[in-house]
Homo-oligomer: A and B are copies of this chain.
Amino acid sequence: MITLASDFGSAYPAAMKGVVLSRTDARLVDVAHDLPRQDVRAASFWLRETLPYFPPAVHLVVVDPGVGTDRRAIVLRVGDHVLVGPDNGVLRPPARRIADEHEGTPTIDAYEIVVENPASTTFHGRDVFAPAAADAHDVPPADLGDIERFSPLDPDELVDLVLPRATVESDRGVATGDVLVVDDFGNCITNVPGDFVRGCDHVEVNGEAVPVGHTFDAVPRGERLVTVGSHGNVECDVNHGRGDEAFGLAPGDDVRVVRD
């Protein structure tokens, strides 16, 4: 199984699929091809929350604003999962989450994909990553090093990306974090852990009192609420509406949550 994720929008992902299917008959599963464009942080969040649900697979990830520069093309092995993509940090949060949830919490092995002259400088998804994912699929994860152009790499040399965590002062009842991403519904997913608001009827978000609800329906349609989202984090939402507009929040914005 090979999963595919990118910020390519329409048509370009199909060229990757064609290249993969010309090399292997792996099952292909689209994760998403409309990840926030060239936004490595947001992509890493969505992939962290999505890829660990899959059975063992090769995960082809192409959110690659530095395509054609000297950023590395890499392959990570985490137990029986393999991630293929650019070395810009986007693979790190999902790789760590897969490791955390994997039997035995395996260490992460890394390889550089050595490509002398790719066919293009702007579409490594098609010319570098898709062939690598196909080839990685056809060997056991433990044998990735046998693929000639996969050169072992010290994981410490990789570009790292750590999604920030909120600062929680439990005794004062204050959590200070930020908005990680806004989803397609307009829900603002913060990095404040859901446990912080559990049991509260109301909290303050950036100075304004907002009800805490288990479900959107806890408030009338069009009203704001704070809930614990499906990722376990505090979300700023609106029932049947857009939280980003109602709270005036965008990705990266500071969020200060105060318990009563």
Contact = CB atoms under 8 A, between A and B. Distances in A.
A50 B16 CA distance: 9
Contact of A120 (B38, B123, B229): B229
A240 B65 CA distance: 8
Contact of A29 (B8, B21, B65, B230): B21
Contacts of A119: 230
A120 B229 CA distance: 7
Interface stretch (A109-117, A162-170, A213-221, A250-258): A213-221
Chain A interface residue bracket vs B: 35 or more
Nearest to A43: B11
A14 B119 CA distance: 30
A29 B32 contact: no
A92 B3 CA distance: 31
Interface string A32-67: 101101100000001001111111000000000111
Nearest to A235: B122
Nearest to A55: B22
Contacts of A214: 68, 121
7 contacts: A1-B21, A11-B32, A17-B29, A18-B52, A18-B55, A65-B216, A122-B215
Q: Which 7 A-B pairs have the closest CB atoms?
A: A18-B53, A68-B215, A123-B230, A9-B184, A18-B54, A14-B31, A120-B230
